[in-house]
Structure 1
Amino acid sequence: MKQKNQNLIQQLVSGLLILAVIVMLGWLSVRYNVKQDWTYNKRNTISESSRLQLASMSDPLRMVAFAYPGSPERATVQYFFDQYSRFKKDAELLFVDPSSEPQKVKDYNISFAGEVVLEYQGRRESLRTLSEQSITTALQRLSYSGEQWVVFLEGHGERSVAGSEDQNDYNLFAQVLQEKGLKVQPINLARTPSLPDNTSVLVVASPRSALLPGEVTLIDNFVKGGGNLLWLADPDHEPGLTAVAETLGIEWQSGYAVFPEYELLGTGHPGIFVALDYPAGPVTRGLSEVTLFPLVRSLTAKPDSGWTAQPMLQSSEAAWLEVSPMDGSSVVFDPEGGDIPGPLDIGMTLTRELPEVDPESEEEASEQKDTDTADEEAPAKTRTQRVALIGDADFLSDASLGQLGNQQLGLNLVQWLASRDAQINIDVPKAPDTHLFLPTWATYLIGIGFVIVLPLLLIGTGIARWVIRRRR
């Protein structure tokens, strides 16, 4: 009897422990939400770039979806919202029924059911199709309130952004910049002899002919006044703009950079520069992709120029600058002939601190000077002027932009020059193909296998088993 009671108590305790474990697991499942994405390429989790973008947005984010109740669009919106809200807890989702709230449809300027509006800091972005790339790109545009203009110099054979069909132009690069929320504008200084006041970055992409003296003066004054500049100079043409180079304290070296390791890398030409790694710097920090530059030149920075120079793209010690014309691939380092040994600086960034100009503060300062009882002056505010220089303009052309990490480097350059540091290295890659395409013969083979062969095998197996049993 005693043994029976002990067994009963043990069973009761075991049952209570099991019940406690079940209750605890239930409480943990409600309290904590754990998700694991085992799909290929983490398809159901937003990329690191999107997570970085969300981390840079300190204010609440709101997603307003105009979709009918029970429609498949609502499920799609909920799917993407769940992915983003996992990494931004103050994100909010609001569904609006277009049929019952026509005033909201009018206020948000909605064109059709299924449209989604993102709201951040009072600004809005409308999306007609949902994907991680479209959502994160829209978030990038929402992150900055002011209009930032990237102005491309034209009129001297520079790379055009005006929609030409020449593969050497910058049509695709301009489109990528616009997708990131930057405004792109070409300018011919001979026709419009002034740079817009809202110019955030001026791009000089390897002019093929000399600029007029007045144009050079305009660009030089822009740099002296604190403007940010991206200057790309192909080795095929002299960079010109001597006054601007003197202001920057740099010198473009004439010739073609030669890379003897081209056979190991398989580039096919000793003049093609492949950047496998990068010196530590603000533009290339975190950039792990290889970049490719067809035919480059090098440059040097003068000491005591007032600028802080930092290498951005640098060759190995085995490279050199060939000062004589390159004929095919048979080039030999000739120091007596003037060839310059490596390592060579192919790209460089320049920065300097300038006083921040504010008209209101200038007025206050002048009034303060007139008073005899002036307090001790507060430290002046400063801002950083930024310049980037690269001895090649081909790497951003339509023909080369999609190669390796060229697009990412180009984006990093402009984002850094526009002081959008939080956007550097945030570029969502397109998802790999989710569809399986088979040739016609494979489709027929699968169809015959499932419709004819597999049923015949099942029937044959059944008949064989029936015959075996009959013989027994």
Structure 2
Amino acid sequence: MSKLGKISFLFAGISLVCMSIIRYILGEWVPFCWLALGLTVFFIAAGMVKDRAFFKEFFTMKTTKEGMSMGVLIVLLIAVLGIVNYLGVKYYKTWDFSTSQTNTLSPQSIQIVKSLDSDMKVLFFYKKGVEGNEENRRLFRELIKKYQDASSKIQLDFVEVNERPDLSKEYGVDKGSGVVFLDYKGRRNRIEKIDEQEFTSALVKVTREKNKTIYFTVGHGEKDLNEAREGLGLGSLKVMLENNRYTVKELALAQNPKIPADADVIVVAGPSQGFQDFEIGALEQYLKTGGSLFLAMKTQTNTGLEKLLAKLGLVLENNNVMNLVDTVMGRGVNQGPTMGVIFSEENKITKSFGRNEITLFRNPQGIKTANVGQGMVVEDLVKTGPNAVAFKTLQITGEPPEGTYTLVSEVTGHFPGAAADAKPFSVIVAGDVDFMANQMLYQNLNRDLILNSVAALAKEESLISITPKEAQATQLLLTETKFAIFLFAFIIPLPLILLGTSIGIWVRRRNA
């Protein structure tokens, strides 16, 4: 190559570097960049014209042709790998080989996320330096990845509280321990627990266009819905329902014995005074048209609702169910909360409850089934274990027989006297009201029991807790015959074959 040709290529390189530096510093394309690009092309062309004989000879050499062929193959290979990676990122498929499918979303979650018709923002608020935040972010990213695999409309963004104080203030975030907000079409929901059950429930809430309305009856000594300080009030329950995007209202049937048209669920929470016949008639008419009713009944009270329960095939025992416990002094009666430990494995309300989990009740009464009418089905949702006894009063006297007592039941079907084309009603009856009061609402499974019950009554099964998936160990069970075959067919011959092959290759190469 001539000296002038080398200088031309040097100037071409300098022009190209100048163009790149200016473009990087200014952050945009300016007219000078065109000048530098033009000079680069000019000097390259000038160098090639000056030494055209050299380049002609170079490109006709055998080594050059072979090298260029190899270069083309490398370029093609890189291009193919690039296309494969691009398609793999844009269109991908995952397989879950775990026994319990712990790495796969439930069909319920997949169905909901695929129904999104607009982008949904998921904001994870955190604060640098807070212990456990990095692990929470990793776990949450893995969880959201499963949802993003099902839909491209879920957009995840991590927000540092101190770096974005405006956004933190807008969402009301005052701590950085991993608070998550879902924002869909202006509807927001907050979650603080990283698992599929909580995220899918929040997803349902933000996609729900119309809030469900729950009415609590008043005027019969029911628990105070607005009492947030006393342990036996229902203030925490009201806040929890409202946070789940339910509209909570009071219903005075004595003043207006008519069920509002927007009532999705009626709740009677621990009345201590009697209902008038016209009030009971209004509730019965509501059930005839396919209504949903939740009754939480105190023991040792006569409210008049016993007649309604009799038509449903249920009888309140008006006793006090307690658990027996083994102590160092012998067997005794546990006068603390009564535990419900047996749950219906088929009912959508309780099928997600674990075998070793419990619900807690305060002096509950048992519920019996008797004379269930045609077209109705009664199902026991929560029962005590076999080590339970019942006393007529809180004075523990005598030795009643041990047994299992039903504490919560569900009745579904068509109410007596309903029209042939009427919708089926749903009633849940609990032999206690304090399990959903402020003091006990968040103990063990109480919260899940009341939320799942309300979701079922409001016909929002998608809000009911998703059955948690537990990792299961894969066991390999071999009989003596199978183990012998495995030992003599694989374990012993395979290393010998590999050793013999290695020795043979070594000897052959040594004598070559």
Secondary structure class of the residue paired with 2:308:
helix
Secondary structure class of the residue paired with 2:348:
coil
Equivalent residues in 2 for 1:155-304, closer than 5 Å: 155-261=219-325, 269-270=334-335, 272-280=337-345, 281-288=347-354, 289-304=357-372
Structure 2 CA distance, aligned partners of 1:253 and 1:244? Answer: 15
Structure 2 CA distance, aligned partners of 1:346 and 1:131? Answer: 29
Structure 2 CA distance, aligned partners of 1:257 and 1:284? Answer: 21
TM-score in terms of structure 1 length: 0.60
1:417 and 2:444 aligned: no
Equivalent residues in 2 for 1:359-370, closer than 5 Å: none
1:113/1:231 CA distance change after superposition, 3 Å:
closer
1:312 and 2:381 aligned: yes
1:310/1:152 CA distance change after superposition, 3 Å:
same
| Contact 1:203/1:231, CA 8 A, preserved across alignment | yes
Structure 1 CA distance, aligned partners of 2:447 and 2:350? Answer: 12
| Contact 2:114/2:150, CA 8 A, preserved across alignment | no
Deviation at 1:252, TM superposition (A): 0.6
Structure 1 CA distance, aligned partners of 2:172 and 2:289? Answer: 49
1:48/1:236 CA distance change after superposition, 3 Å:
farther
Query: What is the one-letter code of the residue matched to 1:333?
Result: E
1:349/1:94 CA distance change after superposition, 3 Å:
closer
| Contact 2:343/2:381, CA 8 A, preserved across alignment | yes
Aligned to 1:89: 151
Query: What is the one-letter code of the residue matched to 1:175?
Result: V
| Contact 1:118/1:126, CA 8 A, preserved across alignment | yes
Q: 2:406 aligns with which of 323, 326, 345?
A: 345
1:59 and 2:115 aligned: yes
Deviation at 1:142, TM superposition (A): 3.2
Deviation at 1:88, TM superposition (A): 3.0
Query: What is the one-letter code of the residue matched to 2:445?
Result: G
Aligned to 2:426: 386
Structure 2 CA distance, aligned partners of 1:66 and 1:20? Answer: 39
Residue deviations 1:270-297 (CA, integer Å, cap 9, x gap)? 4632123312222101122421112110
| Contact 2:408/2:429, CA 8 A, preserved across alignment | yes
Equivalent residues in 2 for 1:5-16, closer than 5 Å: none
Computing the radius of gyration from Cα coordinates, the structure with the larger value is 2
Equivalent residues in 2 for 1:119-158, closer than 5 Å: 119=184, 124-126=186-188, 138-158=202-222
Aligned to 1:405: 445
| Contact 1:291/1:404, CA 8 A, preserved across alignment | yes
1:31 and 2:103 aligned: no
| Contact 1:161/1:169, CA 8 A, preserved across alignment | yes
1:169/1:384 CA distance change after superposition, 3 Å:
same
Residue deviations 1:359-379 (CA, integer Å, cap 9, x gap)? xxxxxxxxxxxxxxxxxxxxx
Deviation at 1:343, TM superposition (A): 2.2
Structure 2 CA distance, aligned partners of 1:126 and 1:302? Answer: 46
Residue deviations 1:329-387 (CA, integer Å, cap 9, x gap)? x544246xxxxx522211111110479x99xxxxxxxxxxxxxxxxxxxxx86643211
Structure 2 CA distance, aligned partners of 1:165 and 1:141? Answer: 28
Structure 1 CA distance, aligned partners of 2:234 and 2:326? Answer: 27
| Contact 1:162/1:186, CA 8 A, preserved across alignment | no
TM-score in terms of structure 2 length: 0.56
Deviation at 1:149, TM superposition (A): 1.1
Consecutive unaligned residues of structure 2, counting only runs of 5 or more, are: 1-72, 95-101, 129-136, 158-168, 174-179, 469-512
| Contact 1:223/1:244, CA 8 A, preserved across alignment | no
Aligned length: 348
Structure 2 CA distance, aligned partners of 1:292 and 1:142? Answer: 31
Structure 1 CA distance, aligned partners of 2:191 and 2:337? Answer: 39
Residue deviations 1:50-105 (CA, integer Å, cap 9, x gap)? x95454344125346699xxxx9xxx9x969964643432415499xxxxxxxxxx
Structure 1 CA distance, aligned partners of 2:181 and 2:324? Answer: 53
| Contact 1:62/1:118, CA 8 A, preserved across alignment | no
The RMSD of aligned alpha carbons is 4.7
Residue deviations 1:403-439 (CA, integer Å, cap 9, x gap)? 11110111111111111112111599xxxxxxxxxxx
| Contact 2:341/2:382, CA 8 A, preserved across alignment | no
Secondary structure class of the residue paired with 2:302:
coil
Residue deviations 1:250-279 (CA, integer Å, cap 9, x gap)? 111121113213759x99834632123312
| Contact 2:182/2:206, CA 8 A, preserved across alignment | no
Query: What is the one-letter code of the residue matched to 1:232?
Result: A
| Contact 1:256/1:271, CA 8 A, preserved across alignment | no
1:64/1:309 CA distance change after superposition, 3 Å:
closer
1:79/1:299 CA distance change after superposition, 3 Å:
closer
